[in-house]
Amino acid sequence: MGGITIKDLRINDEIRADQVRLIDENGNQVGITSLRDAQNRADDAKLDLVLMSPNAKPPVTRIMDYGKFKYDQEKKEKENKKKQKNAQLKETRFSLNIEDNDLQTKANQTIKFLNNGDKVKVSIRFRGRELGRKEPGYELMDKFKEMLGDSAAVDKKPKMEGRSLVMFLEPKGEENGK
């Protein structure tokens, strides 16, 4: 029942078929019966007749407590949403002539982002004549990467994008064999 959405299910009087394959409340397959017989069995058990697979020949119905089933499905969906990790892209920017203490502060903040499971875009802005010599920017990127230690893995190597030198980092555990 993994692919079933709750809104798609028809119950009791909404089912339009002459013959149905019936599964009882215990999960045992009863066989092919008329819709009236299946509905009578569901009524006798004081449960609902739910159309589980409308495209099957004949359609598959099941006797169950629909309210409880719906509640359990919603609970599972809520639990799955909690387990999802929404990784964000954070950015750390600095210029070429940043002081060591400021660079260490930026590195500490980047480590916090990475420990939180986020990817980080590190960019160095070049201004004016700084664009003439890009080697100090690459050296600064290497120094910054060393400051991060083992908490970061390079996702995309440093590369010029316009007036900025950009590198993408990801948490170390997320590294995919690169």
pLDDT digits (tens, 9 = 90+) for 40-71: 888 888 888 888 877 788 888 888 888 888 88
How many Cβ atoms are within 10 Å of 96's Cβ, its own excluded? Answer: 17
Partners of 169 in the beta sheet?
120, 154
pTM given for the model:
0.51
CA 118 → CA 18, 72, 84, 97, 127, distances in Å? 55, 32, 13, 27, 28
Distance CA 105, CA 24 (A): 64
Let me know if 122 is exposed, middle or buried by CB neighbors in 10 A (0-12, 13-18, 19+). buried
Give the pLDDT score at 122. Answer: 92
pLDDT band at 174 (very low <50, low <70, confident <90, very high): low
pLDDT digits (tens, 9 = 90+) for 134-158: 888 899 999 989 888 888 888 889 9
Distance CA 160, CA 38 (A): 69
